[in-house]
Structure 1
Amino acid sequence: MNPILLSRRAFATGVLVSAGAAYAAKSATPTPATIVERIQRTCAERGVEWQKETVDTFKIGPVDTPVTGVISTFMATIAVMRKAVALGASFIVSHEPIFYNHLDDTNALQADPVYQAKVRFATQHGLTVWRFHDHWHKIKPEPMSSASIEELGWARYLDNGSEGFRRTFTRPETTLRAVAEEIANRYPSASVRVIGRPDLPVRRIVNIGHGVNDVVKAFAIGDIAIAPEVREWDSAELTRDVVMLHANKGLILIAHERGEEGGMKLCSEWLTRLVPEVAVVYINSGEPFTALSA
């Protein structure tokens, strides 16, 4: 096995076997604050120092009331909140923001009816939402890409030494169309999009982040790049120009949620061992797009 890629069970277990047993011995039901303290302590044990400047903070709800259940999800949407209430869970660990911007800055949203409805729902049902983004990405092996590799079945293609979120894969020659169809089927996703010749020969694939610089770097070392959520006016248009200049490159675009949902399922398994006193449940927040046939 590639040393940078652990099995799901090995990753989720990590250093938490002894920690879970110790926490289970405690009779008091944990609060959101005590659960976050456990997360911070465990991250430190895995070499991840907690940053002073981070988006990994509480977004809404009480932090010192007993938790009735924990939800792990990509994003705490209204739909996810409703499912949490139906399951009797009061604490949601969300990878992405709940108020529509990276910092969850709500100053411009105070009069917005959607924001007000979300706050009202969370308050009425005693929900607490905490974001787990920056430090979850810093754990090694990087959990989001590790889960994605497992979902796609690409561990055998992973290049030795390739680690972090931006990983590279070398596989027997195939085509851009075939890779895109494979991704669409295995995630699954109804909104996979492609820029480039469908019959483009592909051997080297680069998984990238959201920025145009990532696309440039990927094209320097690979045949195609796979990107979860990029801006069309830079990354997509750059790729179109690359293709028009007859470079044999391609870009596969997937929904941000599809590329990272598996990582939060892995997080639920990680949290189950960290918070043994209550149930921990993963909720799929779902792909935001609907594909309409012509």
Structure 2
Amino acid sequence: MSDTASLQTITDFAEQLAREAGELIRREREENTLRTDYKQQSELVTHADVMADEFITGAIRDRFPGHRILSEETMPDLSQAEQLDTPLWVIDPIDGTVNYAYGHPQVAVSIAYADQGRVRAGIVHAPFSGETFRGMEGEGATLNGKTIRHSGATNPREALFATGFPYAKDHLKPLVDRLEAMIRNCRDLRRIGSAALDICWVACGRLDIYYENVSPWDFAAARLIALEAGATAGHFGDVPAGYPADLYGRDILITAPELWAPVRTILRTASGYQ
């Protein structure tokens, strides 16, 4: 690790930040008038997203000035994920912004720490349900301090899956083809509205399968938590050569281990991949 801080110290720091940011966004929704806007003409953003982002990134810059930051609202430069020379923090201040704006509880603060392109620590904190998922490389995964494991599901037809859909609606057919294939081959679908929580729910056995196309800040922390809970994580498509797989968000697939191969085949076939 390029910094003198231990991985334990970094993970504890990330958890503290996530909890404090979670309290900030909870307070903003419950006590103040929610202000909303749109970025790229279609994606909802609230003033609380920006406030929480600035709080988290400011604290990281103060504590670790030599580290880089990739955050959804204030530092969304995806090329940061390909630079491996210094540690990288990957931040989503509110994963599930539409849920947040509509008063739904499925909202999370996601903070991941990566070194040399490998995610080594991840925190996903859900302030409205009071749940904190935590993963640290080689140390397992916990929910509110208690060890969690995947469901152990073995048969896709008895498996519950989650996915999501993009704000832009220009290229829906491939997504609909995959969805139809999964519904035909699995027990049922759950649409939670937060990729980070979808993945953490696979980690603790509330779901068996998750797949989607997302950005690094949506999944980086939760993916490590799922891996540390014994789930299998990867991609049903190809990862570009040289791009860190831990931070590549296209064609993500995370499952209970015995579901990985059959579900990957279902999704590849539905996608027309060779």
TM-score, scaled to structure 1: 0.26
TM-score, scaled to structure 2: 0.27
Please identify the structure whose Cα radius of gyration is greater: 1
Bigger relative contact order, structure 1 or 2 (CA pairs below 8 A, ≥6 apart): 1
